[in-house]
């Protein structure tokens, strides 16, 4: 090769460049307006501080973003992630609950530090519930041929109802300490959630980059019909993507419920579908499907999480944040939209030759 591309140019053209720039901008903002943001300390033998908070609290979102990337890459979308998180969390809480729903339970039975089922089984049940939800979505999209948005919307609404059904309509508090390990535990000073995320990311990366599944996913996203004619079962690729997304949401539900020590079917994982889509969009994956980058989506999720925590640090109320986030997504979508590029180009060209511009 004659024209050697310098490593920097290569980096600049890669997908993770712009998300990283966004992250850097937020950090610079933090450095100026919230000086304590970068402070790291050691408490009880593990690290703490805002940055650790970002990765610890952000872990569920990162997981959702990984799953969502796969789904969006096939040209679909999964609006049910929040509901799947609720189902998974409810499943865990119910299995731990030392009494059955129809029994008379007194406070001291409920608050005992025991579990009715072994921990391994609980985790397995959590994951199985979420994966089953993903499988259901995938089935509706790939076999029943319902548009992804509608198919997942059904679970988005019914899902929280199902979660309430599982918990019998109650907000279940968890008192079983080993369960807290996933959300609050630390290994070598770093939160356990980080290791879980790394494991899932590694698994996903191996799956899409070391086998041909990643290529299949991209080709389905670009043109499902031609993928079908080239002998790839686009149905199964879609099914896999949605199931994987359900699996990721289930782990997110496990971490979240373990982090807040409870399962509230109505509120746990609220708005995660928006944040998930937002992360993927910031990561540069098009909503129409096609090329995707897992790492960029992960950085996208971290951008959102940092943005959120920064806003809290600066003192903006949580609810107003919704509006701010909506505007942020819109700007990002517009920046990536080809149509916007065309319009901007047209405006600049018109300025250049304003003499013969007619309208």
Partner 1 sequence: MQKIKSFLLKNGPLLATVAIFILVYAIGAQLYPTMKKPQVFFNLFINNGSLLIISIGMTMTVIMGGIDLSVGAMIALTSVASAALLQKNADPVFVMVLMLLMGTALGFVMGCIIHYLKVEAFVVTLMGQFFARGMAYVINESSITIKNEFYNYLALTKINLPFFEKAYVYIPTLAGIVLLIFTFILLSSTRFGRTVYAIGNNEQSALLMGLPVARTKLIVYSFSGFCSALAGIVFSISLLSGYGGYGQSMEMDAIASVVIGGTALTGGTGTVLGTLFGVLINGIIVSILQFNGTLTSWWTRIGVGALTLIFIGIQSLFYVKKKD
The residue ranges that bind partner 1 (CB under 8 A) are: 77, 140, 144-147, 149-150, 153-158, 160-162, 164-165, 169, 271, 274, 277, 287-288, 317, 319-327, 329-330, 333-334, 337-340, 343
Least Å from the CB of residue 146 to partner 1 = 6
Q: Read off φ and ψ for residue 40, nearest 5 degrees.
A: -115, 140
Nearer to partner 1, 163 or 251 (CB): 163
Own/partner pairs for 115-124, CB < 8 Å, 24+ apart? 115/176, 115/178, 115/179, 119/178, 119/179, 121/95, 122/92, 122/95, 122/96, 122/179, 123/92, 123/254
Nearer to partner 1, 125 or 154 (CB): 154
- Least distance (Å) from partner 1 to the CB of residue 283? 15
Q: Between 102 and 339, whose beta carbon lies closer to partner 1? A: 339
By C-alpha distance, which of 282, 312, 319 is closest to 297? 282
| Least separation in angstroms between CB 165 and partner 1 | 6
Task: For partner 1, give the closer residue by CB, 55 or 146.
Answer: 146
Give CA–CA dist 249/71, Å, rounded.
Answer: 12
Distances (CA, A) of 81 to 68, 209, 275: 9, 24, 10
Cα-based distances in Å from 262 to 27, 54, 92, 186? 32, 21, 9, 20
Nearest approach in angstroms of CB 318 to partner 1 is 8
Task: Say which residue the tokens 């995938």 belong to.
Answer: 138
Pick between residue 28 and residue 334 the one whose CB is nearest to partner 1.
334
- Kindly state the smallest distance separating residue 327's Cβ from partner 1, in Å: 7
Of the pair 37, 272, the CB lying nearest partner 1 is at: 272
Residue 191 backbone phi and psi in degrees, to 5: -60, 145
Q: How far is the CB of 158 from partner 1 (least distance, A)?
A: 3
Q: Is the dihedral of CA 241, 247, 251, 252 positive or negative?
A: positive
> Given the complex with partner 1, which of 239 and 280 has the nearer CB atom?
280
Which is it for the CA torsion 22, 23, 29, 33, positive or negative?
Answer: positive
CB 236 → partner 1: shortest distance, Å? 21
- Backbone region of residue 34 per phi and psi (left: phi > 0; alpha: psi in -120 to 50; beta: other values): beta
């Amino acid at each position: 090769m004659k024209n050697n591309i310098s490593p920097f140019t290569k980096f600049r053209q890669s997908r993770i460049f712009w998300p990283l720039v966004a992250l850097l901008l937020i950090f610079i903002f933090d450095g100026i307006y919230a000086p304590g943001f970068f402070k790291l300390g050691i408490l009880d033998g593990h690290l703490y501080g805002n940055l650790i908070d970002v990765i610890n609290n952000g872990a569920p979102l990162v997981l959702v973003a990984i799953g969502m990337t796969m789904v969006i890459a096939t040209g679909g979308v999964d609006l049910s992630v929040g509901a799947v998180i609720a189902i998974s969390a409810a499943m865990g809480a119910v299995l731990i609950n030392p009494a059955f729903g129809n029994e008379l339970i007194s406070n001291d039975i409920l608050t005992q530090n025991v579990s009715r089922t072994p921990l391994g089984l609980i985790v397995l049940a959590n994951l199985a519930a979420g994966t089953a939800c993903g499988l259901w979505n995938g089935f509706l999209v790939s076999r029943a041929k319902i548009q992804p948005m509608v198919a997942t919307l059904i679970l988005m609404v019914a899902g929280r109802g199902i979660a309430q059904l599982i918990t019998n309509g109650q907000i279940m508090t968890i008192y079983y300490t080993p369960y807290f390990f996933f959300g609050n535990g630390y290994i070598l000073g770093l939160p356990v959630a980080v290791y879980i995320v790394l494991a899932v990311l590694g698994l996903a990366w191996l799956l899409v980059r070391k086998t041909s599944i990643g290529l299949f996913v991209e080709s389905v996203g670009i043109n499902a019909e031609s993928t079908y004619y080239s002998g790839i079962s686009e149905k199964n690729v879609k099914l896999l993507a949605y199931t994987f997304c359900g699996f990721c949401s289930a782990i997110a539900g496990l971490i979240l419920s373990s982090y807040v020590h409870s399962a509230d079917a109505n509120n746990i994982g609220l708005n995660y579908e928006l944040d998930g889509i937002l992360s993927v969009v910031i990561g540069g994956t098009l909503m129409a499907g096609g090329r995707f980058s897992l790492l960029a989506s992960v950085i996208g999720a971290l951008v959102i999480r940092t943005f959120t925590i920064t806003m809290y640090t600066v003192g903006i109320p949580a609810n107003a944040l919704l509006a701010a986030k909506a505007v942020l997504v819109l700007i990002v979508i517009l920046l990536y939209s080809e149509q916007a590029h065309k319009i901007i180009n047209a405006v600049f060209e018109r300025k250049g030759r304003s003499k013969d511009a007619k309208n």
